[in-house]
Structure 1
Amino acid sequence: MKRVAIIGAGWAGCAAALTLARANANASARGEKPTSITVFEAAKTPGGRARRVDKGERSFDNGQHLLLGAYTRSLEMIRSLHGARLHEVIDQRPLALVAAPGNPERISVQAKRLPAPLHLLHAMLTARGLTISDKLSINLWCARTLYGSLDSTAHAKQTVAELIKTQPARAKTWLWEPLCVAALNTPAERASASVFVEVLRRSFLGTAEASDLVIPRVDLSALLPQPALEAVVRLGGEVRLGEPVNKISPGSDGSGKTRIVLRERDEVFDDVIVAVGPQHIDRLLDDCPRWIGAKATLSSFSYEPISTLHYEFLAGLDPESSPMLMLDGEPGQWLFSHRLSNGQVRASVVISAHYREGNADELLADGLAQLKRSFPVTKPLWQQLITEKRATYACTPAQTAKLRAIPKSIGGVHFAGDWCVPELPATLEAAVISGENAARQIIESSHG
C-alpha cells in the first residue's frame, strides 16, 4: 500500500489530507487499492497560524482572518464540510469598507446586492467622504489598472505605493492603503503591486459575490482544520496531533522513498507533503543536494507580524450591524467584533505589518484608548494580546519573484503552504489551493 505523510495540520496540510482522503474513498468505490494517509502535527490544536487558542476559560483565535467571496477554493471546502450549517459558521455580506465613528476623515464604501459590475459602480458613486473628483479618479484608475494588461509580470517590480501614486490623498489613505495591508499584510511602500492587482481583479471583476466579505462566526480551527481532520479519520486516515517531525531525509535504500524522523522512531513514506511555515523548512529538511536551493531561498525570507488586541465588553459596540470597521492606525488598522453566547461583545483590534516592542499592557491600553475615541466602551472585562511575529512572509516584489522560482515538488517531497501560490498573498485561500494542488499531484502520479 502506498504511504503518504502530511507534515503540518495548518490549513494547507488539512486541505491536502482531506483531498487525498476523499480521493481514497472514490478509489475504494472503484475497487482500487487505497493510499495510507498519515497527518503529523506538533501542536495539539490544528490550524497552524490560523487556529483556536485555549487559555483558561476562554477560547480565541491567534489572529483575525478575513476571507473574500473571490476565495472560491477555501469557501468550497468549508461549504463541503458544513453543508446546510454554512450560515452558522460564516457571515457573508456585501463589501463594506466603513471607518469607525470619530474619525474626521472617515469614508464609507458599501456595495449592494446588484449584478456585477453595477454593484461596485453603485458603491463608488454613493461612497461617503469622497469628492466627485475622488470618485472619478478612482473609477478611471480601476478601469485602467484592472481591465488593462492581464500579463502577470506587468507590475512585477512595482510596489503598491508606486501603483497608486496618482490617486487622491484620501483614496490612498482610506481606501487603497488599508486594502493593501489587509490583503497582503505588507505596507504599500513595500508591497507587491502585481499581487495587489491580482487580488483586486479576483474580487472586483468576478461575480457580485466575489467582493463579499466573509467573516468567520466560529473559531478558525472549527471553521476548516478540525472538521477536515475528522473527515480524514472517518475516511480511514490517521491523524497524530502532538507528534512533531524532527527531520526529513531521503530513504537509504535508493527506492526514492522519504524517511521522516520522529521522537522515538523513523518511518518511510512514498510521498511526503511538507505543509509547515516556510521559516521551518530549512530546519526540517536535511542537507540533501536536491533540497539545498529551496532551503537557501526560504531561509533568506523576511516576514511581517500581526498583533491582535482582544477585549470583552458588556456593551458599547454593535457587532450585528458593523462586524468590521476601519481604524485610524493608532495603533490598529481594523476592528472586528462579534457577540458571545453570554451576550458580551468580543472586540479584536488588528495591527498588521507592524510590531512594537514593549509592554503588552501599554499596547492594550493604547488599543482601548483607540476604541474609546469611537465608541462608548468602558473598562474591559477581559483583554489579551496575541502577536505572531512571523504571521506572513513579506509580500514584496523581490520575494514574490523568489517564490515563483522555487519548485513546489522535488522528488517525493511536495510543498504546501500559503507561500506556494505566489500570485496571491499569504492567505487562507492560498493555503487551501496549495494543499489541494499538492494532493492532486500525488493522485495523478499514482494513476500513471
Structure 2
Amino acid sequence: MSAEQVCVIGGGLAGIASAVRLLDAGHRVTMLEARPALGGATYSFHRGELTVDTGQHVFLRCYQQYRDLLDRLGSTDRATVQDGFAVPIIRAGVPPHLLARNRRLPAPAHLLPALLGYRPLRFGQRIAAVRAAAALRGVDPDDPAADRVSFGAWLAAHGQDGQTVQRLWELICTAALNAPPDRASLALAARVFRTGLLDRADAADLGLPTVPLADLHGTPAAALLRQRGATIRTGVRVHQIRAEGNRFRIVGEGGALTAGAVVLAVPHSQAARLVPSEAAPDRARWARLGAAPIVNVHVHYRERVTELSFAAGLDTPVQWVFDRTPPGVSGQYLVVSISAAEQVLATRASELVRTYLAALAEVFPAAQRTQVRDAFVTREPRATFRQVPGSRSSRPPAQTRSPGLALAGAWTDTGWPDTMEGAVRSGQRAADVVLAHLGSTSDPTEVTA
C-alpha cells in the first residue's frame, strides 16, 4: 500500500512515540503542536543562568518503551540510571537513611534487608511491611476489582498502621501516582510496586535526566522526525477534526489539512473537545479523570548545601528534592517537588518559598549559612489525571469508533499510571491502531512492541 499522510496532533511523548512508529512503517507524518516546541509536559524555560524544567521527571529501569524511545532520540547518554535502587531518606537532626535493594539477592528477596533495616519504622512495623509486600505480589494490576479499591484501604486491611503508611508506602505512592495511598487506585499502585519493586530485582533502579528535559526529549525528537521526513508545525492550535468520507479534515490556526488517519495525542480535556461525537459518543466521561497538580519550589544557593543528588523527606514539607545544578553554574540549584499538591496549589509563591527555605535549612543545616541567589515556584495544575479508585473505567482505549482516528496520551487505557512510560506506550498503541487501519505494520527490527 502506498505511503499515507497521517496527522499527529500533539508533540508530547505520546505524539513523538506515535510519529516515530508511523515513520518506521513508511508513512508520511505531519505533527501539529500548540506550544512553540515539542516535548509536551516535559519542557524547559530559561531563568537567568538556569534552564528550568517545569517538573521533575524520573523514570525506572523497567520503563522499557520509554528507554527505547530515548535510544531512538539519541538521548540515552543524557540520563543516568542507578546500578541499584537506592533512595536517601532525610529527616531533620538525624543522618540520612539509605533505602536500598540488595544487589546480590533475586526478587523479591532483594528488598528484604532494606525493609528489615528501615530505621524510620519500629521492628514490628518492618515485619508487617514485609508481609504486606509479599501480599502485594498477589494483586493483579489488570484486575478491574483492584481498580475499585484504594491502596490505603488495602494497606490497612493488611496490617499497615498510619505511621507505616506515612513513613514507607506514601513516600513512593505519592510521588509515583501523584496521590496519597488513601486516594490512589490499588491497581495502579500494584503496577508501581509489583512491576517496579517486587517482580524484578533491578526494575526500580532510578533514572534521572542529566540535561534539561527540552534537551532530553523535545529538541532531539524534532531533529529525528525532520530527518526522517516528517513535517512539524509548532504554534498551531487545532480547532476541529472532521471526518470526510474515508479521510479527515483537520482545521487549525493558519489553515487546514487532509489526512488519511489521525493520532490525537493531547490531554483528555482537549481531546474531548476535538474528537468527533461519532468517534467517541461517551467522551463526556473522560472529564471524570479530572486533574491532579504538582508544585515545584526552586532554590539557587550561593554555595553547596548537600552532596546528595536527590532525596526523599520524612517529617518535613520536603517530599522529594533534586540537585539540578548544571555544569558551569556556581553554587547549588535544588528543586523540591510537591506531588498531590492540591493544598498548596493556590498558596502565594512568597509563602511557599519562605516555608520551603526553612524546611530545607532543617534537613540541610549548611543552607542556614548560605545566601540564596534566587528562589521561585512553578506550578503544574494539570500534571496528571486523578489516579483514584475507579479511574480506569473512564480511560478510553486507543481505538475510537471512527476507523483511522486513534487516541494517545498517558490518560488513555494503557494499564499504566500517568508516567512517561505510560505516555510512550499510549503513542505506540495509537500508531498500531492507525497502521492496522492503513493495512501496514511497523518495522519490528526498529521498534519494540
Deviating more after overlay: 419-428 vs 192-201: 419-428
Match for residue 28 of structure 1? Answer: none
Match for residue 17 of structure 2? Answer: 15
Q: 2:332 aligns with which of 330, 342, 345?
A: 345
| Pair 1:191–1:148, CA change in 2 (3 A) | closer
| Pair 1:443–1:394, CA change in 2 (3 A) | same
Task: Render the CA deviation track for 1:294-349: whole Å, top value 9, x for unaligned.
Answer: 2x112343211000111111334334xx2221124754411111332124321111
SS of alignment partner, residue 250 of structure 2: strand
| Pair 1:279–1:332, CA change in 2 (3 A) | farther
Per-residue deviation at 1:17? 1.0
Matched, 1:304 2:292: yes
Match for residue 31 of structure 1? Answer: none
Match for residue 293 of structure 1? Answer: 282
Q: 2:373 aligns with which of 366, 381, 391?
A: 381
Per-residue deviation at 1:53? 2.0
Alpha carbons 2:136, 2:194 under 8 Å: kept: no
Alpha carbons 1:137, 1:168 under 8 Å: kept: no
SS of alignment partner, residue 73 of structure 2: helix
Q: 1:215 aligns with which of 208, 216, 224?
A: 208
| Pair 1:163–1:422, CA change in 2 (3 A) | farther
Per-residue deviation at 1:185? 0.3
Within 1, Cα distance between the matches of 2:72 and 2:218? 13
Match for residue 96 of structure 1? Answer: 86
The aligned runs of 1:176-325 (5 Å cut-off) are 176-251=169-244, 254=245, 256-286=246-276, 288-294=277-283, 296-319=284-307, 322-325=308-311
Within 1, Cα distance between the matches of 2:139 and 2:247? 47
Alpha carbons 1:106, 1:174 under 8 Å: kept: no
Within 1, Cα distance between the matches of 2:304 and 2:264? 45
SS of alignment partner, residue 433 of structure 1: helix
| Pair 1:241–1:315, CA change in 2 (3 A) | same
Alpha carbons 1:110, 1:127 under 8 Å: kept: no
Task: Render the CA deviation track for 1:77-130: whole Å, top value 9, x for unaligned.
Answer: 113332xx7344334342223322416697542124224224222322333333
| Pair 1:277–1:150, CA change in 2 (3 A) | closer
| Pair 1:147–1:369, CA change in 2 (3 A) | same
SS of alignment partner, residue 147 of structure 2: coil
What percent identity do the matched residue pairs reach? 27
| Pair 1:228–1:151, CA change in 2 (3 A) | closer
Question: TM-score w.r.t. structure 2 length?
Answer: 0.89
The aligned runs of 1:415-430 (5 Å cut-off) are 415-430=407-422
Match for residue 327 of structure 1? Answer: 313
Question: TM-score w.r.t. structure 1 length?
Answer: 0.89
Within 2, Cα distance between the matches of 1:88 and 1:105? 31
Within 2, Cα distance between the matches of 1:329 and 1:433? 36
Alpha carbons 2:310, 2:320 under 8 Å: kept: yes
Per-residue deviation at 1:147? 3.4
| Pair 1:192–1:103, CA change in 2 (3 A) | farther
What residue identity is the alignment partner of 1:439?
A
What residue identity is the alignment partner of 1:311?
V
Within 1, Cα distance between the matches of 2:166 and 2:281? 42
Number of matched pairs: 428
Q: 1:434 aligns with which of 409, 423, 426?
A: 426
Q: 1:6 aligns with which of 5, 8, 32?
A: 8
What residue identity is the alignment partner of 2:406?
H
Within 1, Cα distance between the matches of 2:18 and 2:219? 13
SS of alignment partner, residue 139 of structure 1: helix
Alpha carbons 2:240, 2:274 under 8 Å: kept: yes
Per-residue deviation at 1:148? 5.2
Match for residue 32 of structure 1? Answer: none
